[in-house]
Structure 1
Amino acid sequence: MLSPNSSRRLGQDWKTTGTGGSLQSLKKFKNQDFCRLRASCLSQGLLFEDDTFPAHVSSIGPNLLSEDKLRLIRWKRPPELQRNPHLIVDGVSRFDIMQGEIGDCWMLVALGSLTLQKRFLENILPKDQGFQDDYAGIFHFRFWHFGDWVDVVIDDRLPLLNGRYLSVHPRTSKEFWPSLLEKAYAKFRGSYQNLHGGYISDALVDFTGGVQVRFSLKDPPSDLEEILKAADRSHCLMGCSTSGQLRNIELRNGIVQGHAYTVTGAEKIRYKNGWEHIIRIWNPWGHGEWKGPWSDGSPEWDHVEPTNREALCRKKDDGEFWMSCENFQEHFSWLYICDSTPTFLDFGDQNRTTWSVDRHICRWSPVLTTGRNNYSPAGALSRNPQCFFKVTDYDPKTYNVVISLIQKHADNTLDAQKLKIGFLIFRENATVLKQDFALARDVTNYFILSPGIYAVLPVTSGDEKFEFLLRIFLKNQDYNGEPNYPLSPVLPKDEPRLDQDSSCKTIFLRYTNQGSVIDASQLQQLLNEEVLQDEMASLGGRFSFDSCRSILALMDLNSNGRLTLQEFGRLWRHLTKYMDIFKREDRNHSGFLDVSELKNAIQTAGLSINEQLLRLMVLRYGDATRRIGFSDFICGMLRLETMADAFQNLAEGGPQLSMTAIEWLTLVMYS
C-alpha cells in the first residue's frame, strides 16, 4: 500500500509521457540546427567547422592513445582522402563496416544489425545530405536519448593516425557513412574515448528507442531457440558477446574472447534425418570466423538440401558464419535482442498480438539498504515514487510484462553506469513479487504475471538524486487491428432510468426472504435485477459478489455483515444520484465513462480529485481500455465519497492527522 509521503511525491514528481520520442519533434543536440548551419555555410562558401566537437585532442579523449600518438593525429575531410567520395555506395550493408583502432565493437554490432532493419536505419541516417548536392562539410545523424530523439550535427573532419583511420573504416574506400555516423555517436557520447568499451544493450537502445533484453547463454531460458526464431521473424536487432579477461584474443576455433558480434539470422533446417537449429553471426572486424561445425565449407553442409545450402552458405571471409545453437551457447556468454516492443517474446502465439507501453520520468531519491545487496522495501516505499499498472491478458505459458528502467545521471556522463539500479514489483497486498538489480544504465526484465494491479518501485544504491525513465510494456492478446473490446451500441436517448420514486421499502422487503436485513448475496441479486434493468447501466457488466460485499461493507454502519432498511435507504439514495450523474456524463450513450468523463462525474458529485487519484481509480475500477462501466462506477464512487467523509471525521478529531484529503484518498482508493 502507498504511504502518505510517497503519495504526495507521486502527484508531484511523475512525468507520464507517450509511447516514445517522436522524430517529428526532434531535439537539437548542443542546440545546433543542421539546415540553418548548412545554409549559412553555403551562402558564405565555407566548409562547416564544429566548435562543439572540434578537430582536436579533446574530441579524441586524453586516455585513448599515448601522448606521442595523440600528437600524430591528423584530421581530414573525405574529399581530401578520395577524389569522388560518397555517403552511401550501392545501399547500406553490414559488410560496409570494418572496425578500426577504437574498441567500439559493441557499437558496431548494433550498427551492423541496424543495416538489416531499414525501418530503424532510416531514423538514424537522414537522406537529406551527401557530397554531391549542397555539400558544405556538414552532416547529421539521429539517436534516441532518454525518451527523445536528438539530432546530432558534425563536421566531416575524420581523425587519422599515421595515414590510417583511427575509427571505423568502410570496406569500399569511397563510402563514408560508417565513419561519419561513428563520429556523430562519439560526439553524442562525449568523445571517441567513450566509445572504447561499452555495452551492446546501450547502443541497441540508442539506435532504436526500443526495449532490449539480455539473455544469459550460460543459464539460458528453456525457450531460447523459440525466442531466437521469433526475434528473427519479427526483424529485431540482435547481438551477442563472448567472455574472457583477455580481450580480442582469437582462439584456435576462430572465436574472439572478450568481443562482441552481431546475430544476423536464426534458422531451423533439415539436416540428415532430423532438424538443426543454426545461428548466423557477424564479426565487426570484417574478418575472422568460426572454424567448427556449420562454418563456411564444413562437412555439415553436405547433408543439407542444395537449395538451402546455396541460400545460406557463403564461402567468403567477410566475418560472417553459421554455427549450431548448441555451439552458440557453449562459446558465447550473452545474447541481446531489441525491438520497438518485445515482439521476440511472442513465440508460440497463434493470434496476432500487440504491446502497449507506458513511460514515466521521475527524479530518483536514494534508498536505505539493509545490507550490501539487499534493499529495504520500507525505505524504498518512503522515498521513491511508485508506478501502477494493470494486467488483464494472461497465459501461463507466455510472457506478458516487460519492465525497463534507464538511469540518467545529472551531468549525463558515463559515471551513471557505476550505479547499481533496479526495481521491485508489488502486488495489491504490498508483497514483493519480483526484483531485479544490476550495475548498468539499463535494467530490463520480462515476466509472466497473473491478472491484477501491480506497482513498480525503482531503487538505486546511489546517494544522489538524478532522473530515471521507467517503461512498462504490457501484452494485449487477440489483437486484430481493432479495439480488443466489443463496441457498444448507440442507445435511444429515452431509455429507462432508475426510478427515484420507487418504494425503497418495497424493494428491500422483496429480497429479505421475510427477514429484516439483507446480506451480500441478496444485495447482488437486488442490484442486478432492479438497477441493471436499465439497458445502459447493464452494458458495463453485472455486479459481482465481491463488489456487492465491498458495497455492503461501506454502507454497514453496524459492522455485522448485513444491511438494515435504514442502511439500504442510504445506499439507494446514492444509487439514484450516481445513476443521474453517470447518464449525464455518458454523452455517447456507450454505457461506459472514459477518463475525462469520470473526472467530470466525480467533480459533479462535489468531490475533490487530482490526476494521480484519477489514474488510480481508473486502474482500480477500469477495464483494459481504461473505461468504467456503471457497476464499477458505483463501487468506486461509494468508496470515494465514504472515505472522503471518513477523512473529514478524522480531521475534526485533532491535529495528529498529518496529511491532506487528497493524500488520504490516494492512500485508500487503491487498496
Structure 2
Amino acid sequence: MLAPSSTLMLERGRQTTGATGSLQNLKRFNSQDFKNLRALCLSQGLLFEDDTFPAHISSIGPNLLPEDELRRVQWKRPTELHRNPHLIMDGVSRFDIMQGEIGDCWMLAALGSLTLRKQFLEDVLPKDQGFQDDYAGIFHFRFWQYGDWVDVVIDDRLPVINGRYLFVHPRTSNEFWPSLLEKAYAKLRGSYQNLNGGYLSDALVDFTGGIQVQFSLKDPPPDLEEILKAADKSRCLMGCSTPGQANRNIELRNGIVQGHAYTITGAVKIRYKNGWKHIIRIWNPWGHGEWKGPWSDESPQWDYVEPKYREALLRDKDDGEFWMSCEHFQEQFSWVYICNNTPSFLDFGDQHCTTWSLERHINLWSPDPATRRNYYSSAGAVSTNPQYFFKVPDYDPKTYNVVISLMQKHAEHVQDAKNLKIGFFITMENSKVLKQVFSPIRDVTNYFILSPGTYAVYPATTENQEFEFLLRIFIKNQDYKENSNSLTNPVLPMDIFRKEDRNHSGFLDAAELKGAIHTAGLATNDQLLRLLLLRYGDAEGRIGFSDFVCCMMRLETMTYAFQNLAEGGSKMSMTAMEWLTLVMYT
C-alpha cells in the first residue's frame, strides 16, 4: 500500500504494477525513434550518423586512453571492416564476446549470462535489424532503467586503431552484435569511459528489469549449493566477482584474475567416485584464461565421472569457461549475484507451489527542511519521510518471504554520478525499527524472513541530499486480487482521508476519524474512538495520514479476525466492540 506521510508526498509519488515495466511503452532515449530514423535514411540513400553520440573523442571519454592513442582513433562501420558483416551468426552465444581494452567485465559478465536466457535476451536485442535487409547504418538496443524500458539508437561506427578493435570484439570476425550492444550501453551511460569499472549487479538489472540479490562468500548462506542449483533451474542470470582492485588484471598462478567479474553458467551435483560433488561452471569475459585447479578442463577429477556425464559437461577448449568445486569457488571468489523477474531461487526453484507479488513505488526523498536531519536523527524522524506499508500473510521460519529493493535514480545523462549511501528501515506498527540496510550503491536489495503482520518501509539516505528512488517490495504468497471494498486497495485510504479532512489540515480530529471509520464500512463507539486517538494520534488528539493508515489496516484486520472466529464456531465471551477495545491498543 502506498502511504507517504502527507498528501503532497502521495501526489508526488506513484505506484506502478508489473515487475519490469512494459516493452509496449518504450521510452525513446534522446527522443530518437529507430523506425522513423531508419526510414528517413533509406529514403535519402544515407547511412545514419548519430549526433547525440558522435564519432568523436567525447563519446570515448577524455581519460580512458592515452592521448596519442586517442588521436589515432578511427571510426569504422562493420561494412568497412568486413565485406560480409552480420549482426548475429548461428545464434547469440557468450563465446561470441571477447573483452577489449576497457574495464567493462562487469557488464560483459552480465551479458554473457543474458545470452543463456532467451526470455530476457529478446527484450534487449530486437530482431528487426541487420546488415542484409534495410541496412542504413542504424541499430537499436533496449535497457531497463528505473522502472521503464528505454530504446537506445546508435549508428554503427566503431572506434578502431589500425584496424584493431578498441573495445569488445567478436570471436567471429564478421559478427557484430557484441560491439554494437556495448556501444549502445556506453551511450546510455554517457561514454565508453563510464563503462570502465562498474557493478555487475547494475548490469544484471539493466538487462532484465529484474530483482538482484548478492551473497558474500566470506559469510555464505549454509545452503549456497542449493541456492545456485535453484537459480540455474529457475533460469536466473548469475555472476560472481573476485577480491582485489578492479582493472588491475592480475592473473594468479591458478588462472583466476583478481578484481574481475565472471559469469556463472551452470551449477550441478554430479556423481563422483563413491559419492556426490557440487561443481560450478564459470566463464571469463576475456574469452580465454581459465582456472587450473581441480575440475578444470584437463584435471584428473573428470576421470572418475561417468563418460556420459563427462561428455555432456566438459568442454575442453581455451574459451574462458571452466568448472570448479563449490569449496574452491568460495575460496577464490568474493561475491555471487543472482537476478530474475522474481526471487524464485529463494524457493529453491519450486515455482509451482509458491508465488511472489510485487509493489513498486517511485518518489522523492528529502531531508527535513527545518533541521536538515538525515536518517540518523531519531526513530521519530523517519515518519517525516515517504513510507510504504505492506502485509505479510504467510510465514515459514525456514524460507525467505520478503525481498525489498531500493534503487536511487540519477539524473538523465549523468549515469556516472556519485552514488549516495541509501537504504531503508523496516518497522512494525509499534514503530520499532526491525531492520535497516544501507550501502553506497545504486541498488540496495535484501531479503528477509518476516512473521505475519503489517510493516512499513522507510527509504532514506545517510546524506543531507534529496534523491529520487524506485522502491520494489516482493512478498511471497500474497493474494493480490483487487478488492475495491478493502483497505488493502492503495487508493481507498487516501480517498477516505481527503473526504473526511474537511478543513484540509492534513489531520483528522475525533469527529472526522469517526466519519472515516464509518465510510470504510467499519464500526466504532466513543470508547474505542478515544482509545484509537490515544494510540495513533498526536498530543492534540489528531491523527495524520500515515498513522490513519496503520490504524485503519489494523482495525479492518481485527474486525475480520473477530468475524472469522465467530463464524468458525468459536465460543466468544465478548462483543465485537469489547474485542476491538482489547486488541486495538496492543
| TM-score (normalizing by structure 2) | 0.83
Pairwise CA distance, 1:456: 0.6
* Residues 198, 294 of structure 1: alpha-carbon distance in 2 compared, 3 angstrom cutoff: same
Give the 3-state SS of the residue equivalent to 1:418 in structure 2. coil
Distance, in Å, in 2 between the alignment partners of 1:595 and 1:186 is 45
Q: Is the 8 A contact 1:424 1:457 kept in 2?
A: yes
The structure having more radius of gyration, on CA atoms, is 1
Q: Secondary structure at the match of 1:239?
A: strand
Report if the CA contact (8 A) 1:416-1:441 is conserved: no
Partner of 1:14: 13
Indicate conservation of the 8 Å contact 1:424/1:456, yes or no.
yes
SS of aligned partner of 1:250 = coil
Write the distance in 1 (CA, Å) between the matches of 2:218 and 2:75. 44
Q: Distance in 1 between matches of 2:518 and 2:386?
A: 29
- Aligned pair partner of 1:669 in 532, 547, 552: 552
| 1:385 maps onto 2:423 in alignment | no
Q: Deviations over 1:634-668 (max 9, x none)?
A: 99644578699879x99xxxxx9597886774464
Question: C-alpha distance in 1, partners of 2:323/2:525?
Answer: 65
Mapping 1:228-627, distance limit 5 Å: 228-245=228-245, 247-347=248-348, 349=350, 352-366=353-367, 375-378=376-379, 380-411=381-412, 413-414=414-415, 416-476=417-477, 595-597=483-485, 608-610=496-498
Distance between the aligned counterparts of 1:404 and 1:196, measured in 2?
25
User: Secondary structure, in 3 states, of the residue corresponding to 1:596?
Assistant: coil
SS at match of 1:30: helix
Measured after TM superposition, the shift of residue 341 of structure 1 is 0.5
Q: Deviations over 1:427-475 (max 9, x none)?
A: 1111111111111000001111111111011110232222100000011
* 5+ residue gaps, structure 1: 478-482, 486-593, 614-632, 651-655
Report the equivalent of 2:171: 171
- The equivalent residue for 1:32 is 32
Superposed CA offset, 1:189-210 (max 9, x none): 1000000000000000000000
Distance 1:660 1:380 in 2: 17
Could you tell me how far apart the structure 2 residues matched to 1:266 and 1:409 are? 35
Query: How far does residue 168 in structure 1 lie from its aligned partner after superposition?
Result: 0.2
Change (3 A) 1:132 1:380: farther
Equivalent-residue separation in structure 2 for 1:65 and 1:127 (angstroms): 33
> Which whole-Å deviations, capped at 9, do the CAs of 1:101-124 have from their partners, x for residues lacking one?
111000000000000000000000
Following superposition, the deviation at residue 414 of structure 1 comes to: 3.9
Residue equivalent to 1:223: 223
SS at match of 2:390: strand
Moved more, 660-669 or 140-149: 660-669
Which residue of 2 is the match for residue 101 of structure 1? Answer: 101
| Change in 2 beyond 3 A, CA 1:211/1:72 | same
- Kindly state the Cα deviation for residue 245 of structure 1 after the two structures are TM-superposed: 3.0
> What is the root-mean-square deviation of aligned Cα atoms in Å?
3.3
| Aligned pairs for 1:131-142 within 5 A | 131-142=131-142
| Change over 3 Å in CA distance of 1:595–1:59 after alignment to 2 | same
Name the structure 1 match of 2:155: 155
CA contact (8 A) 1:239 1:260 kept: yes
SS in 1 for 2:379: helix
1:609, distance to aligned residue in structure 2 (A) = 4.0
* One-letter amino acid of the structure 2 residue matched with residue 45 of structure 1: G
- Does the residue aligned with 2:122 lie in a helix, a strand or coil? helix
The answer (yes or no) to whether the contact 2:231–2:338 under 8 Å persists in 1 is: yes
Question: Could you say if the C-alpha distance between residues 51 and 644 of structure 1 is closer, same or farther in structure 2, counting changes exceeding 3 Å?
Answer: farther
CA distance, structure 2, for counterparts of residue 207 and residue 137 of structure 1: 24
Alpha-carbon distance, 1:409 to partner? 2.5
Is the contact between residue 374 and residue 461 of structure 2 (CA under 8 Å) also seen in structure 1?
no
2:170 is matched by which residue type in structure 1? P
Alignment partner of 1:190 is 2:185: no
Amino acid in structure 2 at the alignment position of 1:458? P
Distance in 2 between residues matched to 1:419 and 1:193, nearest whole Å: 21
- Judge which range, 375-384 or 29-38, deviates more: 375-384
1:179 counterpart SS class:
helix
Residue number in structure 2 paired with 1:210:
210
Amino acid at match of 2:432: T
Q: 2:115 is aligned with what amino acid?
A: T
Q: 1:411, CA displacement in angstroms? A: 4.8
Distance 1:667 1:111, change over 3 A: closer
Size of the alignment, in residue pairs? 527
From the two aligned structures, give the one with the greater helix fraction: 1
Deviation (angstroms), 1:670? 4.5
Aligned pair in 2 of structure 1 residues 443, 394: CA closer, same or farther (>3 Å)? same
Aligned residues of 1:282 and 1:321 also touching (Cα < 8 A): yes
Aligned counterpart, 2:571: none
Contact 1:609 1:662 survives alignment (8 Å): yes
Shift of 1:153: 0.2
Contact 1:210–1:341, Cα closer than 8 Å, also in 2: yes
| In 1, Cα distance between equivalents of 2:332 and 2:268 | 19
Query: Which range moves more in the overlay, 661-670 or 384-393?
Result: 661-670
- After superposition, give the CA deviation of every residue in 1:471-524 in whole Å (9 maximum; x if it has no partner): 0001118xxxxx799xxxxxxxxxxxxxxxxxxxxxxxxxxxxxxxxxxxxxxx
Question: Is the Cα–Cα contact under 8 Å of residues 144 and 206 in structure 2 kept in the other structure?
Answer: yes
For residue 249 of structure 1, give the secondary structure of its aligned residue in structure 2.
coil
Label 1:439 to 1:62 Cα distance change in 2 as closer, same or farther (>3 A): same
Distance (Å, rounded) in 2 between the aligned partners of 1:457 and 1:125? 36
Deviations 1:83-106 (A, max 9, x none): 010000000000000000111000
Cα deviations by residue, 1:3-41 (Å, 9 ceiling, x for unpaired): 9x9244553333100123100111100000000000000
1:73 corresponding residue in structure 2: 73
Query: What CA deviation, in whole Å up to 9, does each residue of 1:191-241 have, x standing for no partner?
Result: 000000000000000000000001101110111111101001111000000
Q: Are the counterparts in 2 of residues 239 and 262 from structure 1 also a CA contact under 8 Å?
A: yes
- SS state of the match for residue 127, structure 1? coil
Aligned equivalents of 1:414, 1:274: Cα separation in 2 = 50
In 1, Cα distance between equivalents of 2:224 and 2:477: 22
| Distance in 2, Cα, partners of 1:664 & 1:282 | 51
Secondary structure in 1 aligned to 2:191? coil
Deviation at 1:380, TM superposition (A): 4.2
What's the offset of the Cα at 1:412? 5.4
For 2:239 and 2:450, the matched residues in 1 are separated by 27
1:420–1:440: 8 Å Cα contact kept in structure 2? yes
The separation in 2 between residues aligned to 1:417 and 1:242, in whole angstroms, is: 23
SS of the residue aligned with 1:167?
Answer: coil
In 1, the alpha carbon distance for the partners of 2:106 and 2:546 equals 47
Q: Contact conserved, 2:5 with 2:544, CA < 8 A, in 1?
A: no
Query: Aligned equivalents of 2:148 and 2:338: distance in 1?
Result: 21
Q: Which moved more, 1:399-408 or 1:412-421?
A: 412-421
